Homo-oligomer: A and B are copies of this chain.
Amino acid sequence: MSALLTDLYQFAMLQAYHDGGMRGTAVFEFFVRALPERRNFLVAAGLQQVLEYLEGLRFTPEETAWLAGCGRFKRSFVDFLAALRFTGDVAAVPEGTPFFADEPILRVVAPLPEAQLVETRLINLLQFQVMVASKAARVRLAAPGKLLVDFGLRRAHGAEAGLFSARASYLAGFDGTSNVLAGQRWEIPLYGTMAHSYVQVHGSESEAFERFARSQPAAATVLLDTYDTEAAARKLVRLAPKLAREGIAVAGVRIDSGDLGELARRVRRILDDGGLRAVKVFASGDLDEHRVQALVAGGTPIDGFGVGTRMNTSADAPYLECVYKLQEYDGRPRRKRSQGKATWPGRKQVVRRFDGHGFMAGDVLTTADAVPPGEGLLREVMRNGRRLEAPEPLETLRRRAQDGLARLPESLRSLSAAPPYPVTVADTLRALAEEADRRAASSEAEDA
């Protein structure tokens, strides 16, 4: 992605920093100010894309020519941009880890212009994957043991949203996606059935099913609800013996409209009575964690769910109150004190404690240099602009997320709003905030 994918104000600030020779070390952290009402936890995701972005950050000659020609910037500043690379350090919470409000999941330590320039794209990359992974984790918790497939590409917000949705939902415990490019890019298992149009272009539903089954002799999942769902199931039962004689077995059926629970029960009965006990029932259509949970709780005979739009747009919480904030510059802690938007200053660490059964028992938000016992969640992942380790395989992230979900306190695993997970602020951090405030107050008094 082009390095011009950023806000104009980044260049305006960098121009001023360049004019003033301001290249001191800046520390920024990314965190979410408050959890959305319907989220008891968030899941870290998107770090891999952040590191790729930082490693690849550079302006092409075409881009610097455009910047030089747009009339806003000095030649010496454009030359500075042409040579700019990301040379900083990054610490981060590993992807797949549950986290909470105010806990930084990414820290950038870099010369001021570099640390500032990357703000827009870092937020753009992290917010979305965190949001979808967190939503997908709720679907996973609602449907233990069920096949879950991301079906949301078409109504995701553009191409990248579709791709990142597939990755983030798989990371959070989905079994696969319908998104072929995501399958190719990240080796995510692919699933697919057929569209209503497939049935409609054929002379009859039976003909449509038969041709589809022949075309995929072991893997076909046919769609039942183009005309009449139960009638379609009966047609499949009549068709099965003929196909079986040729070694062809239909793998599954999909129901995409109507009362999914009631139709699934009736279809299951028709299939079972017709000897098609091995055929799986798959449901889709306007699903989210609540609808999936209701279907599962009813003991409905549905083997898998295609979950799309509502997950890929995180429809009930389509953005997070997330920020990438300056914490320190030139060795001094900084904090913003805008009304209702004050932040904790300095380089921080999140320390997680577990109880005797391995469940998460509480986190401490602390200064990075005075860490109490427990597991420090932020780990160094990049130094001087280079990754310290090869990218973690997606399967590793997926296992971490499953482990993380299993260790959540039971109340947080519920889809309903639970009392917040305990995150306490260490005394060292409170002291640092007071120090930052005292210094700011004295320089403001001078400035007033």
Q: Which residues of A contact B (CB under 8 A)?
A: 1-2, 4-13, 15-16, 19-20, 22, 24, 26, 28, 63, 66, 70, 72, 112, 116, 119-121, 123-125, 127-128, 151, 153-164, 178-181, 183-184, 190-198, 200-201, 203-207, 211-212, 214-216, 219-220, 225-228, 231, 234-235, 256-258, 309-310, 313-315, 318-320, 322, 325-326, 329-330, 334-341, 440, 443-444, 446-448
Contact = CB atoms under 8 A, between A and B. Distances in A.
A231 to B, nearest CB: 6
Given A112-B201, A204-B446, A164 B158 contact: yes
Nearest to A308: B319
Contacts of A157: 128, 156-158, 160-161, 164, 313, 318
A215 B19 CA distance: 7
A123 B312 CA distance: 14
A228 B447 CA distance: 12
A19 B201 contact: no
B319 A9 contact: no
Given A192-B7, A318-B318, A12 B215 contact: yes
A124 B178 CA distance: 14
A4 B181 contact: yes
A235 B7 CA distance: 26
Contacts of A340: 257-258
A153 B120 CA distance: 7
Contacts of A256: 338
A140 to B, nearest CB: 21
Contacts of A19: 211, 214-215
A444 B235 CA distance: 10
B156 A7 contact: no
Contact of A258 (B128, B161, B338): B338
A253 to B, nearest CB: 14
B226 A339 contact: no
A123 B195 CA distance: 14
Given A160-B158, A179-B5, A444-B204, A196 B338 contact: yes
Contact of A7 (B153, B216, B318): B153
Contact of A192 (B11, B156, B443): B11
B440 A154 contact: no
3 closest A-B pairs by beta carbon, nearest first, are: A8-B192, A158-B160, A9-B192
A357 to B, nearest CB: 38
B313 A318 contact: yes
Contacts of A12: 192-194, 212, 215-216, 220
Contacts of A151: 7
A204 B447 contact: yes
B203 A443 contact: yes
Nearest to A322: B155
Contacts of A26: 197, 201
Contact of A153 (B2, B6, B447): B6
A227 B441 CA distance: 10
Contacts of A121: 159
Nearest to A220: B12
Contact of A334 (B160, B195, B200, B319): B200
B325 A9 contact: no
Given A201-B26, A227-B444, A15 B215 contact: yes
Contacts of A66: 184
B11 A197 contact: no
A251 to B, nearest CB: 12
Nearest to A336: B196
B216 A180 contact: no
User: Of A178, A200, A226, A235, which is in contact with the most chain B CB atoms at under 10 Å from its CB?
Assistant: A200
Contacts of A341: 257
